[in-house]
Structure 1
């Protein structure tokens, strides 16, 4: 960490805190209300948590949950929660106590470190990245072990300076968060702008009555692909024919694939090969993939989750006009899906989608208008992303300044952190309970006990009071 300012000291979290204390400082009664805090109640990377859910302690005290109390610091130990920054100071707890996820480490300050200071230190991205490299366990269930966290060394300023650091840090971070919220709002507005633009382009009220309307089934050949038998290595090994799956249709164009099949698979199965210019519509897929439309820019085959739309020359309709319509009515198309566990868009449903057909010259005008406005929106999106990166860098620089002693000035009158730590250690040593010694087994005496009664074999005479 380099040199430290005067009055600062390095200490491990285990020296500063009780790591995973066994319970509350004061056990609540069965009828008292306490907070319940699942992992989902802790926000990622903000240090905030939601503690409004309350439960009667007697109803939950026997459950295997993590006990913590007001001002404890919660540290999510499991992947990906830890990497996402699910770290928070416990506050606003009902009765000052809570039960939470078993995937929390709990850090309870002994007095030499402010919980807010510790929380902000742990929220630093480089700290979380180092913790990630020290996780143990199987993939998907990796956790930060307690010994690693207890041995993690942090810079500790005098307590008075910690108060000044936290006050300045939280004031500046509040300004950054306001800016980040504005950026998020701008991104949402930009998405709404694009959606409104597309809707306006395909359905301008002043013109729609003069336009002809056709279904996709009338204007195009609609078909789907297939998946070659997985057990046939000769259908996949050494394949050079691009094979498109629905996940690729989230992009506006498909110009490359990660999967390939062999010419033999094309010849012997129901796989269909499409030419560049074919529109591909996702018939089903995870997340928001279903209903997405992409234009194929290479010769490729598809699986059964992709519908290929090949326009015929019978009607005057540009391919990019149909794609614009499918993009604009994405949510409507998704709603058409039917089925149980995995709703899908059948070929029959796709064929029934209606396409308004303005004259070709008007199609071109509207497409040019959309292209220009999309270019403007793209520039705005780039600007938003640039400012977002600047905000992240400002946050990183602010935290670095806080923990290297350059965020606020030092005060020579502050009690050095080492003095406070020594005093806390001494107080703990004085107040520590002596270790309980196990009573040594008493050897059986050959003499008869004084009571005159025989002592059964394997028992011991009671010790005198």
Structure 2
């Protein structure tokens, strides 16, 4: 997947209503479209914009994909004033006003270095029909179709052979949302273009083109999320030319960037109604005390208070720095003596070693022990969904985290994190946190011939803890985005 494909994938999620969540309090697009149409009628009556021919009703067969219930499909001309520039060729002069054509639209900007000039009189005539204002969008209609530009006007100019999208009311529609929509749709428009030697799309084609409209507040959130993600696409684009040499490194960096945003509270927004991590932390401690009294888990030595010097980065106010051992019951397994055949031969009880933690989800064991081994040692069977962190091992092993999807025993090289509270999102959040924290864990390992973390170091791992509801949103967003990182290596 190249950078453009990745960008298109993100934009496709955006225009399908899958990049940010929908919020009931933001209303629906139907109400918004009524307001825009009413405003358009007012401007037509005041002769500020021209009345256009009525557009055909949108048939179900016209709709290319499903959108959220709060969104609406409309034609571009329903919500935007769609015009075009001159199609004539004015006389060029050595000093005058720039005449911007399709070839001057480059990478979202206007290239004024290679532009021809026309007289002030000709520019004035053109601008009576298609005066470009700040915040308008230019779109090439002939030849190199597309290349939308959101105008940031710092000089006067006129336009030729291109569409001009003007807002009906800047307070009713987000032009940046339209810009990103056109960025995504331009390839589809090119395929639908007509013409032989030089392809083109007509003004009527653009006016009738379908666009999915979210509520205004959601439009703004979609734009903000896209703009958050674009720097990563640019980084990928720079790296793509060297992809053969670095075909694993960039996706890993991309994944790490996503996970870093997640654990720093920057991947999803904070919401006051989610409460605080302190409330969740207290709940876990109360449940832990209860399980200790019921002798379901062992009482562990209290962990040291977290000092300011230990904290590696800032987190949102509603979050809390905690130690891993205060969120889970942390223990380890053992290795039944290999010299005793009664412990291993013909065994059918799964026994997981640290080498298997390279699998993110452990669905089956590579090794087994016998029921006799269970009955004659202190080895414990851990329930499925227990998290395992490899403590020993050369190479990449130590620091790796896995989730058991089976009940299994483990060897002494694994630390097992058992749930104190049955919260799936907490477990998943910690899984993704430790994937990010892998290098930090390895740095803390001790030993030379066989570096190890040991249980004490695992218990003392620092975790930035969000409120539970935010964890849920973080996990959902990570699981939505990480598959794209995996696609980068294909």
The normalised TM-score by structure 1 is 0.42
The normalised TM-score by structure 2 is 0.40
Q: Which has the larger radius of gyration?
A: 1
